[in-house]
Structure 1
Amino acid sequence: MASSGAQYDSDDGMDEFMDKFKTQRYKNAFAEKGWEEEFDKIPMFMKTAPEEIDPKKYPELACLQAIIHDEDRPPEEQAKSLKDEGNAFFKEKNYQKAILSYTAGLKKKCGDQDLNTVLLTNRAAAHFHLGNMRSALNDAAAAKKIKPDHVKALIRGAQCCIELRSFAEAVQWCDEGLKVHPTDKKLQELRAAADKHKRAAERDARKAKAKEKKLHGEKESVLAAIKDRGIKLLQQVKHRPRGSDSEEEEGEGSSAAISQLSLDGLSSQEVTGAQVFLDEHGCLHWPVLFLYPEHQQSDFISAFSENNCFIDHLAVMFGEELPPWDTDRKYHPQNLQLYFEDVEKETLYRVDPETSLLKALQHKRFFIKAGTPSFIVLVNGSPFCKQFLTGKKIQGL
C-alpha cells in the first residue's frame, strides 16, 4: 500500500506541473512568430552559414569557430578542422569560402601528406566549379606530386585539361591514372572524350592549314595576274625627310605606289566585304566604287569584270528606274562623265564609258587604294559639274 501511495503522490506532482502550462508560459521557449529564424541560428540546423559571424548573434557558431581556429592545437588537427569547414562551404556551393578554408588548412603545413592531398584536391574542385581552370589544374598537379595514384586528383587534372582544350595533356593524365586504376570508369570516360576532342582538334588544324595554304596560293595567283597586267596598288608609305639618303625620287612611278606587289595591297575585304579575285578563265574581278559628289552618294559593285566596259554597269544602274536621290532625273547613261583622281598630281583623268575597266586600271597614273578602284561620276554640262571641274587639271585617258 505504501508503494501505491508513493506512485499516487508522484502522479499528483506531475499533474500539478503540467497544469502550470495552462496559466504560465515557458520562459526559454522560441517566440511564436520568429521561431524559424531562431531555430536557424543553431549550428546543427543551419541551412547556410552567415557571411559574418557575430558572437552576440551566433554565440554557438562563434564558439565552434574558436575551436576550429584554436592555434594551441596541433597543426594536423587545425588543418582537419579547416578541411571540414571547407567541405561544409563546398556543400553549400559557397566555393569562394571553401577555397579560403582549404588554403588556410594548407598554410598549417602539417605533416599529414594524405590530408594535404585532400586539401589540394578539394580546393581544385572548388576552383573548377568557379571556372578557374588553370588554378584547379595547378592544385591537381600539386596533389598528384604528393600522391601520384590519387584518383580524384588524376580525374580533376584530366577534366581541367579538357576544359582548357589541352586534349593531348588530358589523355596523358588519364593514361597515368589508368596505369594504377585500370578499371576506373570515370578515367576511361575522360580518356575517350579527350582522345575524341584531340582527334577533332588535329583534324580542324589540318583543315585550317590546308585552307590557309589554298587561300595563300589563290592570292599569289591574283598578285601575279595583277603584276602581269601592270596594275599598280597603293600602299601606305612613311614620308621621309627631304634631302635624306633614303628619299625616293618622284616621277611616273610615284613614291606612294608599291614597287613590289604584296598581300597588304589587297585590303578591300576589311572595308567592303569584297576582294579582287581571279576566275577559272583567268579574268580578274574587282570591287569598284562609283562616287556622286553632287549628291554625296555612291554605288558599289562587288565584282566588276576587268573585260566589262563602264557603260555596261551604268546602263543597269541608271536604266529605266533612276535612283531616288536623282530628283532632277538627269543621271542618264548618255549624260554621264567618268573620272579617276590622281591625288599626288592633283589631276583628274577622264574615262570614256566605252572603255574597259582593265584599260583604265592600266593607266600609268592609276593607283588602286585599299584594293578598290574608285571613279567619280558627274552629269555632263550640269552647273555642279562645271563648278566641280573649275580650277582642276583635266586629262584624257
Structure 2
Amino acid sequence: MDLSQLFYVLALQHVPNLGDSTAKKLIRHFGSAEAVFKEKKQNLLKLEGVGQARIAELQNSAHFKAAENELKFIERNNIKVSYFQDQDYPEKLKHCFDGPVLLFQKGNINLERQKIISIVGTRNITSHGSAFCEELIEELVPLNPVIVSGYAYGVDITAQKAANKYGLQTVGCLAHGLNQIYPKAHRKYMAGIENNGGFFTDFWSTDKFDRNNFLKRNRIIAGLSEATIVIESAEKGGSLVTADIANSYNREVFAVPGRPGDNYSIGCNNLIKSQNAHVLTSAADLVYLLNWDLPDSEKPVQKQLFIELEPEEEVIAGFLRNSSKAELDIIALNCGFPTFKAASVLLNMELKGVIRPLPGKLFELV
C-alpha cells in the first residue's frame, strides 16, 4: 500500500478502544481508512458497534500526528508493512477475525505456499523438553516447514535456535515494537533469524512494554500457522492461551505428553485429556495428522534395492506385501503397534523410499 493509505490506516489504529475487528469492519464497509475519517457522522452511526464515543474520537487530530510520527519511524528503519487487504499479508492470518490490520516486519520472511507450524511452551524448559524440541525440528527438515514462536525464554528460543541451526525459516512474533527486543539476552540471535526468516509484530514503536502484550501477541502465533505445538507447560501459562486461540481458529493443536507428576507436563496432559490437543510423540504424528507429503525432491524415482530395514519396518513391509495398501490405523492394528509408533515407523520407511503415502491417508509399498 502507498504511504498515503498507510498514514490513514495508522491514524485509525491509533483511535482508542477501536480494535482490529472493528477497524476492519469500518474499512471494508466504507472502502478505505481515509474514507472512514471523511464519512458523515450519520452514516458511521448506522454501522453496528461503532457508537458516538468512537465517532467523536475520529475527529481528534492527535491520531494524525501520531500516525505521522510512526510513519517516519517505519520509513527510517526500512520496516515492511503488510496490510490485511494486501496480497502479501499472511494467508492464514486473513481468516482470523481479530487478525491485525497492519503487520510490521523485519527480516526475510516468505510464507507463500509454505508449511507453517507454531511451537510454544514454558519458559522453564526441561532438558527433556529441549532435547525433544530439537529432535522434532531435525526430523521435520525434509519437509522444510516454517517454525513460528514468540522469541521468549524456554521453548520459544529453543525452537527458533534449532530451526536456524537446521536451515529452516523461523519467525519470531514480538510483544512490542520493532524499536526494541525482549528479552535483551536474545539480541545475539536476531541477525541469524533475520537472514532466514524474521520478526512480526502489530505493536507500534511508541507502545509501552507490558506483560499483557504477550496475550495479544499470541493470536498472531496461532493465526499464522496450520498447527500449534505445545512442548511443555505448567497447569497455567501463555502457551495454553495460544492453544485455546488456535482451537478457536479451527487449527490443529498438538501437545507432548509427560509424566503425571511433572510440573511442566500438567498443561500438555490436560490439553490431551480434554481432547483439545492431539498427542505428539514424534514428527510422524504431525506429518500423518496434517496429511503432509514429502516434497518431490525427497521421493525416490524408483525403488531402491537391498535397503536394510529395521525389525519393525520388516513387520509393516510384510503386511503391506499381502494387503497392497492400507490405512495407518489398520496397519497399526494388524502389526501390533500403537498408532503413534506405526506412524513413526511409516515416516522412516517413506524417507528410505520403501513406501509412499496415497490420498485418503493410505500407504503402499513402492
Scaled by the length of structure 2, the TM-score of the pair is 0.21
Bigger relative contact order, structure 1 or 2 (CA pairs below 8 A, ≥6 apart): 2
Scaled by the length of structure 1, the TM-score of the pair is 0.19
